[in-house]
Every structure is written in C-alpha cells, then in structure tokens.
C-alpha cells in the first residue's frame, strides 16, 4: 500500500466497512446484510485498484502481472510500481522503478474513471440544476455508501419488528387498560346515542305540530265551504 497514492478524502477502512459480509465470498450461498468481517484478510491493494477502475490481467501475459482499464484501454505493468526491497517493518529499502502508483492519474485524461465530464456523458451542468458531476471512482464510493445506509436502515427496521410483541394484550397491564378504555368508549357512545335520539324526537315533534295545524286548516276550509253551499 505504501506504493499507492490515494486521494486525501478517500478512507479505505470506511469503504471496506460499507461492504456486505459475503462480498468477497467466491460462491455466496445467502444474502447476509451485515457488514464485511475479517478485513485483515482482504487484499487491500487489489480492492483499491478495483475501486478506481482497474482490472487484473493474468500473470502469464505480462511478467509479475498487469492491470488494465477497460474504459480507456490503458495497461499498467505493476512490477514498475512495486518496491524492490522491503524489510519486515514495512520500510522500503530499495524503491520501485516508478516513485508511486496513482490509480486515478494513470487513467487517460478522457477516461470516465478519471474525468467527471466524460462520466456524465458531456452534459453541461448549471448551478440551477444542482447536478454534481462525478468521476467513475466517486460514483462507486457513493453507491457503496448508499447501499450501506439502506442495509443499516433495513436492519434497524427488522430489529424493531422483532422487539415489539405481536399481541398488544400480552404486554403487562395492557388488558386492564383496554378494559377501561372499552368502558369509557361505551359510555361515550351511550351519551351520544341519547343526544341523537333527543334531537330526532324534537324534529319529529316539529313535524307533528305542523301536520296538526295543516289538518285544522283543511277542516276549517271544508266546514266553511259546506256552510256556503247550504
């Protein structure tokens, strides 16, 4: 890793922690949504090169292996960037032929892994649109981070569901509380029913009074007509 120069804002340990537990499994049998474990066993150099858009070529093609970008077709002979001699403490005794490997700068200028405008398809970005142009490696980091947050939220939701009992009445004191609430609701319903029937009776009485008055008027009219005929 001391032969690779990474962006200052790139946190390798945090990026690895975003990965699912079975991310490096050769044949994942299930979908484990927890985070990756055993990060000490991860080939950190290979992981970094993959994040920044490089694919390994078989060692048989080039001596000591090579990496290629399938977007800009740039090929790197990795032996050029490997320290010739390193002691047990990790100190470089004989440096590599090249001072260091910058996995971003080694891409060609137009490569979408390096060039944000190429990655965005050449679209123009205005301040009003609030669209942020990102290079390919930045998009990979954003996707890993977003996926991690979604899995965390899903796990928290599952834990809440498992922690809450299925039957509310099984909680201590719940049955007693529900009985009290039922009695209160029953009393309220009875009061409302009484008020409703009282209103109906008042309305009914008004119609009855109007009907009696109309009947009296009709009787008086008929009686007057009878007298006029006689």
Q: Which residue has the higher pLDDT, 22 or 149?
A: 149
- pLDDT at 127 exceeding the cut of 60: no
Q: What's the pLDDT tens digit per position in 65-103?
A: 888 999 999 988 887 777 666 677 767 666 666 778 899
Q: Which residues contact 135 (CB under 8 A, 6 or more apart)?
A: 104, 112, 113, 114, 115, 116, 119
pLDDT grade for 202, boundaries at 50, 70 and 90: confident
Q: At what angle do helices 136-163 and 44-51 cross, to 10 degrees?
A: 110
pLDDT at residue 138, rounded to an integer: 92
- The model carries a pTM of 0.56
Distance CA 97, CA 84 (A): 8
pLDDT band at 12 (very low <50, low <70, confident <90, very high): very high
Tokens of 95: 């440096």
| Bigger pLDDT: 12 vs 195 | 12
Encode pLDDT of 23-43 as tens digits. Answer: 887 655 545 545 555 556 788
Confidence grade of residue 175 (pLDDT, cut at 50, 70, 90)? very low
CA-based max dimension of the chain: 144
Q: Is the pLDDT of residue 207 over 70?
A: no
Strand ranges in 25-181 using DSSP code E only, listed in sequence order: 55-57, 66-68, 75-77, 85-86, 92-94
What are phi and psi for residue 94, nearest 5 degrees?
A: -125, 110
- Give the number of other CB atoms < 10 A from CB of residue 141: 19
- Euclidean distance between CA atoms 39 and 35, whole angstroms: 10
């Amino acid at each position: 890793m001391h032969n690779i120069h990474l962006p200052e804002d790139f946190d390798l340990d945090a990026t690895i922690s975003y990965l699912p537990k079975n991310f490096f499994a050769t044949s994942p049998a299930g979908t484990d949504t927890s985070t990756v474990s055993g990060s000490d066993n991860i080939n950190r150099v290979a992981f970094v090169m993959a994040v920044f858009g490089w694919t390994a070529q078989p060692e048989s093609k080039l001596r000591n292996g090579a990496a290629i970008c399938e977007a800009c077709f740039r090929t790197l002979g990795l032996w050029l960037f490997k320290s010739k001699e390193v002691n047990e403490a990790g100190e470089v005794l004989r440096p590599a032929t090249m001072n260091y490997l910058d996995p971003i700068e080694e891409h060609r200028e137009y490569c979408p892994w390096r060039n944000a405008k190429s990655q965005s398809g050449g679209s123009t970005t205005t301040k009003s649109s609030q669209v942020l142009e990102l290079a390919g490696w930045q998009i990979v980091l954003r996707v890993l981070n977003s996926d991690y947050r979604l899995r965390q939220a899903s796990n928290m939701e599952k834990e809440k569901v498992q922690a809450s009992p299925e039957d509310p009445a099984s909680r201590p004191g719940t049955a007693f509380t529900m009985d009290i609430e039922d009695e209160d609701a029953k009393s309220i319903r009875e009061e409302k029913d009484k008020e409703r029937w009282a209103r109906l009776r008042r309305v009914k009485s008004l119609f009855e009074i109007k009907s009696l008055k109309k009947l009296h008027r009709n009787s008086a009219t008929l009686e007057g007509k009878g007298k006029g005929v006689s």
